[in-house]
Amino acid sequence: MSKSASLDEHNDISIVLCGQAGMGIQTVESLLTRILKLSGYNVFATKEYMSRVRGGMNSTEIRVGSKPVSAMVDRIDILVPLNKGAVEHVARRISKDTVVLGEKELVGEQSRPFRFFEAPFTNIANQIGNRIYSNIVAVGTIAALLGIGLDRVSDYVRRHFAGKASDVVKKNIEAAGAGFELGAGLAKSVGLRVVIQPNPMVGEQILMSGAEAVGLGAMAGGCNFISAYPMSPSTPVLVFLAKHGRDFGLLAEQAEDEIAAINMAIGAWYAGARAMVSTSGGGFALMVEGLSLAGMLELPIVIHLAQRPGPATGLPTRTEQGDIELALYAGHGEFPRAIFAPGTLDEGFHLTAKAFNLADKYQVPVFVLTDQYYIDSYYNTESFDLSKANVEKYVVRTDKNYKRYELTTTGVSPRGIPGYGAGLVCVDSDEHDAEGHITEDLDLRTKMVEKRLAKLELLNSEIVPPELWPDGNYRNLVVCWGSTLHIVREALSVLGRNDTALLHYKQVYPLHPRTAEYLGKAKKVVALESNATGQFAKLIKLHTGIDADEKILKYSGLSFTVEEVVEKLKKVLV
């Protein structure tokens, strides 16, 4: 943009579109991000939205950078308000350098602490035939400001609407062209343009969301059955697997409720499938009895738990890291489990694949813990290394003397499945003997409990280590987990302090044995989490005796932003 817009100090710009649900904001987001990526621009997108099909106020942020971008920022460089109230909805993020492109009647006549440029999206759309095309006009306008050619824009709009009637495709291409003309005019008449250097290598990368990364990871881990009851923000994983299930030999079942979903998955593992359930906190609360069933039956299960603010229905479309203790302590009785918490798309893919192998190997529940911010955010990244994603199967062929719960030194009994061999595969939710029959032999009960708990030692041998960045000496250590990784890492880059390091956990349980060593080297430990009580910090204290010196916590329902973390760290670092 022109220097007066104060954007030349950034290597990227933040574009925010805001309007009511049903106005096609997601269409604009999808079109723009893919057009930008194909043009060689690094892109990141995330959204915040209200729990309603129509109305309310939603916004989406698209960052465009000359270097990789993968975290949410607070600032808005370009704002496109698509209805009245949009400016007020994001007012706290607007500065005097923000450029607002829109219509006067939507922006209002109030004092404007920003640069306003008239962009009659609706009038142009009406001339084409319907105001519904106003969002596509906006796509063309922004593309022109970024210097993207009209041919590329038209080509992708044509591809996006290829399944529609020819007249619809034609009108959308016309709308994009009209918007492009508007943007080119603004660039020429008032010097409104964006100068971001594209990188031809970006075009070869993949662009995907957290939900797609988890879904692909499940398929790479051999998942061939998913059962779920739709519940935001977990539903996109179910939708993705259902959409591609036929191509990959996967059966997707939308169950009547979450209780049925987890019982289906347990039954699928018993029969020899590799199954997953996808849910959120309220749905998982209904699955807890089934989780205990899996613990007693010693059957594997993979649970994708996408967190959102609670308790009860809470804020169903917002984000939070509030369910780590739920995943850790859920279920009556005592039995081991493992909990992964990916922070990058690559981690989402590989950890989900690993979850299936770990569950199969040790016959335990394994969680993949995400949240709304992670699931709904996406950016361009290198393709995943498929050579690291191997399907490991541990089912044995049974003989006539087979004992499902044979007592072993490791605690892991050979797992057979019905019809694979000559043995009877007997399981029971009551305490049982080695053959799977109900027992009330109390000495045997003790042995069975110890057998199940012995697996925790095996899980400890396969913990995914945390990431220390940068490696070396540090006075301050910022500890985070899951989806906050990119935000904290960029914040530390902005601070530029060589005495501060980041310790990011991608597996939160079992806890890595070097945790106390990492924390003990720091003069000050800062825990950053999206919850109100510092749940992971409490877990660390429980296992190491070390409490964080400072806690940076957020639980409003919105994710941290880079600027927010920068300001909070400035106040607590030594």
355 with 282, same domain: the answer is yes
Does residue 212 share a domain with residue 199?
Answer: no
Q: Quick one: 184 and 287 in the same domain? A: no
Transcribe 329-393 into DSSP letters.
Answer: H-SSS----EEE---SHHHHHHHHHHHHHHHHHHT-EEEEEEEHHHHH-EEEEPPP-GGG-----
- Using alpha carbons, list the distances in angstroms from residue 186 to 2, 107, 230: 12, 18, 44
Tell me the per-residue pLDDT of 239-267, one tens digit each, with 9 for 90 and over.
999 999 999 999 999 999 999 999 999 99
Question: Does 403 fall in a domain?
Answer: no
Question: 340, 356, 388: which is the final residue of a domain?
Answer: 388
**What is the CA angle 548-282-480, rounded to 5?**
20
User: Among residues 340, 359, 388, which one ends one of the domains?
Assistant: 388
Bridge partners for 505 per DSSP = 481
Q: Say yes or no: 552 and 532 in one domain.
A: yes
**245 and 97, same structural domain?**
no
Same-domain pairing of 129 and 233: no
If one counts the domains in the chain, the total is 3
**What is the model's pLDDT at position 109?**
66
User: What is the reported pLDDT for 4?
Assistant: 39
Whether residue 394 is contained in a domain is answered as no
Q: Of 124, 175, 180, which is closest to residue 149 (Cα–Cα)?
A: 180
Residues 174 and 236 in one domain: no
Residue 301 belongs to domain spanning: 207-388
Same domain (yes/no): 192, 212: no
The CATH number that applies at residue 565 is: 3.40.50.920
Please tell me the distance from the alpha carbon of residue 14 to that of residue 12, in angstroms, as a whole number: 7
Domain presence at residue 327 = yes
The SS3 of residue 267 is helix
pLDDT of residue 26: 87
Q: What is the CATH number of the domain that holds 199?
A: 3.40.920.10
- The answer to whether residues 212 and 198 belong to one domain is no
Cα distance between residue 269 and residue 403, in whole Å: 18
pLDDT of residue 11: 80
What was the pLDDT predicted at 504?
98
Is 457 a member of any domain?
no
Task: Chunk the chain into consecutive blocks of 10 residues (it has 574) and report each block's average pLDDT, rounded to whole numbers.
Answer: 42 92 85 94 95 84 95 96 91 92 83 86 94 93 93 95 93 96 88 82 95 98 98 97 96 98 98 98 98 98 98 97 98 98 98 98 98 98 94 97 97 97 97 98 98 97 97 94 98 96 98 98 98 98 98 98 98 94
Q: Which of 170, 203, 236 is the last residue of a domain?
A: 203
Predicted pLDDT of residue 10: 59
Same domain, 97 and 180: yes
